[in-house]
Structure 1
């Protein structure tokens, strides 16, 4: 099996000319780390596994995209062709360009010790071990199977970084110059600052958002930095096999319910999931919110939101007309969204990009830009 050509093409896509990461991507066999994955086809999760036409399979393995490796509790490695799991993705192999981007935000230097949170497939761990040396890299994941599989796959390439099946939101052993997470957190776990050496750099995303935190630990034990201008999104941390579901019947209510309050919205229906900064602001103000969107052949647009506290909202309109909005529950989610959009019109942009970040030793994460403030 000749994979080098595919890896070289991936390096062209995922890295810049002259980048120290370019030869590492070009010489790391991604298919070893992601032999099987899930693809969404017509609303159904379907297994993608090696086939007789290995060129097509290799092409999929070396595309610069994230590959879903676990849906709910079912690993693609353990699935058969007739399996079609239901639920949310719970693990993936991150697209290589984003892995490289996160490492670049970390500003890795020779001789530094790296803690990677979110081993996943182990592909990023391999790149880090080649860059810094295997003895400088520690990688954690909450899923014991992923750790075992990554250890075997790394070992097949002669790499033996330190791997451990650990809930990284709890205690962490060791001290590190860099902590880089490919899972979303809210807030930053206090143990991360405890494990980060003074002057060390933390790179992580806020769960449910596309916001990248870049922060450096100071002598007083706090970490100070900014939200990067670039975007990145990762699955949030979890402690069990799956994420907690929304309350029974809530999604159905959001999609079809009458609502306690029925009003006319200020702005056209929005696909929140495709409006990254708006979605990030919404998550900061209503953490845990889930959104959905559809448009029919007649141009009728429908957007819904649901929150674990039982709140939901739905807006329906044809084209860009003012929508009819149904809302119920403790929060008026569409009003929160309209407030975000009003802020944008008033100020010309949302404050999340470039916001200052202060992380205190107890894990409180404070964002600020101008007069805008939020504490996670």
Structure 2
């Protein structure tokens, strides 16, 4: 198979030829790391086996797109041909290459940097090994199978970075000039500060948001930096085979019950994840919200669910229609969303992107921009 032509096409689509990331992209066979994947939407995904249709395989893996490899505890590598995955949450994937490279660029990796990255399929680890050499790369994941599979596939390419089964929110295996996490966290683990060398940089995203944190270690053991101006979203860290479902009981109530409060919303219906800025601001202020969407012709319904028992359901029959909102629980989640939208309309922007980041040695993280301040 002529994967090299496809890889060069991917490299050209992601970076310019003079970029230091061009050669890693152009010479790394992504298909080795994604032989099978789950294709479809959250409503249901179907197994795709690359070997069964090589042309479709090449088209998929050398496109700049994310390929989901694990739904709940079901890894595509272990599924039977023709299998279907239900509506569970993705728990591992091969992230679109442009986003991986963007995270690496934010890290400002030097030629002599010792770098820790997160594993997933191992494709991002391979790119970093191509860029620096495998002796400068450590790759970690909480999932023993992912680490084992990635190690084997990397070794098949002659790459032998250090690979460890590690919960990235806990102690890390060594000290590093750069820590780059393509899983999201909240709060930022203090173990990262312990493992970061003086002047080193960490790059990650805040769970539930589209915010990239870049921060450099300071002499007191903390770190300072900024929220990058560009958005990104990653799966949050997990500590077992699957994510907990803290809003499952809330969902049973919110599906169609009348709320304790009912009102008409003056704004058009918004699914918060469609707006990085709004979603990020809301998630910072009310962490832990789970979003659901249902579309039935012109009718759209959006749910906001929270583990504390709060829920909101908003329904509109067309794009400009005024949504009817039902809310219950200790907090009025839709009103929290409306406060964010009011601020956006009043000020023209929200203060999240470009905010200053201050991380104290005990891991307390505070974002500030102008008069706005928020501590995670």
TM-score normalised over the length of structure 1: 0.96
User: In the TM superposition, what whole-angstrom CA distance separates every residue of 1:105-145 from its partner, at most 9, and x where no partner exists?
Assistant: 001111110011x2001011011111111111111100000
Partner of 1:98: 99
8 A contact 1:266–1:338 mirrored in 2: no
Partner of 1:139: 139
Partner of 2:335: 335
Q: Secondary structure at the match of 1:182?
A: coil
Partner of 2:108: 107
Counterpart CA distance in 1 for 2:280 and 2:293 is 17
Counterpart CA distance in 1 for 2:112 and 2:42 is 48
State yes or no: 1:318 paired with 2:306: no
Q: CA deviation at 1:246?
A: 3.1
User: In the TM superposition, what whole-angstrom CA distance separates every residue of 1:186-238 from its partner, at most 9, and x where no partner exists?
Assistant: 01100001100111111100011110001111101110010000111100001
Q: 1:1-376, aligned counterparts within 5 Å?
A: 1-40=1-40, 43-86=43-86, 87-116=88-117, 118-297=118-297, 299-319=298-318, 320-376=320-376
Deviation beyond 6 Å, 4+ runs, structure 1: none
Q: Secondary structure at the match of 1:251?
A: helix
Unmatched runs of 5 consecutive residues or more in structure 2: none
Counterpart CA distance in 1 for 2:286 and 2:42 is 30
TM-score normalised over the length of structure 2: 0.96
Q: How many residues are paired up?
A: 374
User: In the TM superposition, what whole-angstrom CA distance separates every residue of 1:71-111 from its partner, at most 9, and x where no partner exists?
Assistant: 00111101112432331100001111111111100011111
Counterpart CA distance in 1 for 2:180 and 2:21 is 16
Q: Secondary structure at the match of 2:315?
A: strand
Q: Secondary structure at the match of 2:184?
A: strand
Counterpart CA distance in 2 for 1:169 and 1:306 is 25
Greater CA drift, 299-308 or 37-46? 37-46
Counterpart CA distance in 1 for 2:41 and 2:111 is 43
Greater CA drift, 240-249 or 5-14? 240-249
The CA RMSD over aligned residues, in Å, is: 1.4
Counterpart CA distance in 1 for 2:361 and 2:164 is 24
Q: CA deviation at 1:364?
A: 1.4
Counterpart CA distance in 1 for 2:208 and 2:283 is 6
Counterpart CA distance in 2 for 1:294 and 1:241 is 27
Counterpart CA distance in 1 for 2:20 and 2:70 is 31
Q: CA deviation at 1:346?
A: 1.4
Unmatched runs of 5 consecutive residues or more in structure 1: none
